[in-house]
A and B are shown apart, each in its own frame.
Chain A
Amino acid sequence: MSFVPTWERQTDMGFFLETLIGGLMSGILYSLVALGFVLIYKASGVFNFAQGAMVLFSALAMARLAEWIPHWFGFQNLVLANILAFIGALMIMVVVAWLIEKLVLGRLVNQEGITLLMATLGITYFLDGFGQLLFGAEIYKIDVGMPKEPIFLLEHMFQGGILVNQEDLAATVVAAALVAGLAMFFQYTVTGRALRAVADDHQAAQSIGIPLDRIWVIVWSVAGFVALVAGVIWGSKLGVQFSLSLIALKALPVVILGGLTSVPGAIIGGLLIGVGEKLSEVFIGPMLGGGIEIWFAYVLALFFLLIRPQGLFGEKIIDRV
């Protein structure tokens, strides 16, 4: 018998908080994907549309390997299978990153942003096709043993309490940790500093002996890693399936809102968008017939841009003539 909660009628405040928390939870996931964009844009000036495809690709790899590896090696330990699958998927993403640098970006240096954007769209097509060809197009399962049932918080404060889903909670923690970790990595590690140097000025970076191509491979690998984590989180929640690649569209308003070049921007932008779209859908949506959250996220970003054309944390542009 499946679990049936006793939903008491909620106080408006309780429900508002619940929506807010829900927004923050999806928001942190958007931040995660957005980080992928920002990392790559900072280091190589590429607006990487393939981020979504990479999420799908890595998630597919993870899901399928988790199925196959026990077959190949004949053991039944779920945890071990998942760990091995994760490592395997990660290695695959590194290879992908390396190939992308070698075959595509390495040959497109100093092209205009739009050309690079298109190139990544080409990569998107390729990965979508290749991923489904390799791993299949059906719906697959990533079971990292996340708890599914909701729990109720603050029931003594608000009648009906605040419903929070444990899986989301876990996901949020992981995402938050990763986001923090990446921010650290950028700030304090040697590679991180190198990355920022590259981001600030390619020529200069090269002249002080930072090897661009290797940096790019690293960045794309990191982006691949981010994609993988995002893929695992969403995959275990929604099942791994083609539609995962659409997460990219969720991250776009985030990156422009936060500023293409800003790590904190990606984080804050993600939370803003997440909260904004949930609140809008739940509280404004019904008046407009619902389904407004997609365009609302973009319109929200648009209005921020009208105030700060370079995004919340992006660098200001001054015309020099």
Chain B
Amino acid sequence: MSLGARSQGEVILDVRNISLSFGGVKALTDISFDIRNQEIRSIIGPNGAGKSSMLNCINGVYTPQQGSITFRGQTFAHMNPRRVAEMGVARTFQNLALFRGMNVIENLMAGRNLKMRSNLFQQALNIGFARREEVEHRRFVEGIIDFLEIQPYRKMAVGKLPYGLQKRVDLGRALAMEPQVLLLDEPMAGMNVEEKQDMCRFILDVNDQFGTTIVLIEHDMGVVMDISDRVVVLDYGKKIGDGTPDEVRENPDVIRAYLGTSN
């Protein structure tokens, strides 16, 4: 895969001058960056830099006080989660946000909710259409289960799964939405090396096979520098760097932020 080519892809998500604060506390200050089609775009920065808040703004979970987000030419002052999802943006969560009361299949099926059409009465009576629809989406979900290699855990309550697998299910739920843009919030946090390798493989495969644009928040610099096309660096809610991994690596502000001002 040639980095250059993808970075040239047209901009599908453009974040402009986003500022967000809770009460007095400023979480994000005037952040701007863009995301190109099919690239892997990483957001890095120390804890509390505002990375997750950034994703929450894109998802419409938080409403920024200023700024706009442009998705495929449409510009929004603030998003609402439903609309974002309909536009094909999926998301995994930093500290797991799985539906603990459900098993793996149900979690993934939940990811299909936007695609399911049968109404309450059809489901209540479980008549033809509702039933067919259920089966057809189950087939799709089984595809994802195979892709993520979690067949043995289908019927297990997600709460009972080991952490690494839960992360996979989280990814699976996002994939079930057939997203164009996939926001990954520290998908490898707390994983051992093998698990990380698996996760990397999945991310890259998703990016290759389905041409899904990936926005990645990750602490593991090795991973980030390996797989990202471009990287945004946040610190204390401000953008201090943006560019290819090499550019970022050279950026003095970034170095200061990570290594402290000592050198």
The answer to whether A and B touch directly, with their CB atoms under 8 angstroms apart, is yes
Interface residues of A (CB under 8 A from B): 318-319, 321
A318 to B22 Cα, complex, angstroms: 9
Decide if B22 touches A321 in the complex (CB within 8 Å). Answer: no
Chain B interface residue count, Cβ-Cβ cutoff 8 angstroms: 9
Q: Mark B85-103, 1 if CB is under 8 A from A, else 0.
A: 0000000011101000000
Q: Which residues of A contact B94 (CB under 8 A)?
A: 321
Using CB atoms, name the residue of chain A closest to B97. A321
Of chain A, the residue at the smallest CB distance from B52 is: A321
Contact with A along B5-42 (1 / 0, CB 8 A): 00000000000000000100000000000000000000
7 additional contacts (CB under 8 A) given A318-B22, A321-B93, A321-B94 = A319-B61, A321-B52, A321-B56, A321-B61, A321-B95, A321-B97, A321-B185
Residues in A with CB closer than 8 Å to B95 are 321
Closest 5 CB pairs of A and B: A321-B93, A321-B97, A318-B22, A319-B61, A321-B61
* Complex CA–CA separation, A319 to B22 (angstroms): 12
- Using CB atoms, name the residue of chain B closest to A316: B23
Residue in chain A with minimal CB distance to B185: A321
**B positions within 8 Å CB-CB of A:** 22, 52, 56, 61, 93-95, 97, 185
Q: Which residues of A contact B185 (CB under 8 A)?
A: 321
The residue on A at minimum CB distance from B22 is: A318
Label chain B's interface by main secondary structure. loop
Bound-complex Cα distance A321 to B61 (A): 9
Residue numbers in A under 8 Å from B61 (CB-CB): 319, 321
Q: How many Å lie between the Cα of A117 and that of B185 in the bound state?
A: 36
Residues of A within 8 A of B93 (CB): 321
A310 to chain B, nearest CB (A): 14
B59: nearest chain-A partner, CB-CB: A321
> Taking the nearest CB of chain B, how far is it from the CB of A8, in angstroms?
55
Closest to A319 in B: B61
A-side contacts of B52, CB under 8 Å: 321
C-alpha spacing A179/B208, complex, angstroms: 67
A157 to B65, CA, bound (A): 54
Q: Using Cβ atoms and an 8 Å threshold, which residues of chain A touch B22?
A: 318
Residues of B within 8 A of A319 (CB): 61
Complex Cα–Cα for A321 and B183 (A): 13
B contact residues around A321 at 8 Å (CB)? 52, 56, 61, 93-95, 97, 185
A318 cross-chain contacts in B, Cβ below 8 A: 22
* Alpha-carbon gap, A196 to B258, bound state (A): 38
> From B94, which residue of chain A is reached at the shortest CB distance?
A321
Docked complex Cα distance between A319 and B53 (Å): 11
Q: Which residues of A contact B97 (CB under 8 A)?
A: 321
Query: Smallest Cβ distance from B163 to chain A, in angstroms?
Result: 17
How close is B189's CB to chain A, nearest CB, in angstroms? 14
CB distance from A165 to the nearest CB of B (A): 46
Task: Report the bound CA distance from A318 to B62 in whole Å.
Answer: 10
10 contacts between A and B (CB under 8 A): A318-B22, A319-B61, A321-B52, A321-B56, A321-B61, A321-B93, A321-B94, A321-B95, A321-B97, A321-B185
Chain B proximity of A320: nearest CB distance (Å): 8
Query: Of all chain A residues, which has the CB nearest B95?
Result: A321
Please give the distance in Å from B173's CB to the nearest CB on chain A: 14
Q: Complex formed: what's the CA distance from A318 to B20 in Å?
A: 14
Complex CA distance for A321 and B97, rounded to whole angstroms: 7
What is the CB-to-nearest-CB distance from A321 to chain B, in angstroms, rounded to a whole number? 5
CB distance from A105 to the nearest CB of B (A): 25
CA distance A319 to B61 in the complex (A): 8
Report B57 CB to chain A, min CB distance, Å. Answer: 12
- Docked complex Cα distance between A321 and B96 (Å): 8
| Measured CA separation A207–B94 after assembly (Å) | 27
* Closest Cβ–Cβ distance, residue B79 to chain A (whole Å): 15
Shortest CB–CB separation between residue A218 and chain B, in angstroms?
Answer: 34
Closest to B55 in A: A321
Minimum C-beta distance from B15 to chain A (A): 19
Question: For the complex, what is the distance from the CA of A319 to the CA of B56, rounded to whole Å?
Answer: 10
A319 to chain B, nearest CB (A): 7
| Nearest-Cβ distance from residue A318 to partner chain B, whole angstroms | 7
Closest chain B CB from A110 CB (angstroms): 15
Q: B174 to nearest A CB, angstroms?
A: 13
Cα separation A321 to B53 with both chains bound (whole Å)? 9
Q: For the complex, what is the distance from the CA of A170 to the CA of B94, rounded to whole Å?
A: 58
Closest chain-A Cβ to B22's Cβ sits at a distance in Å of 7
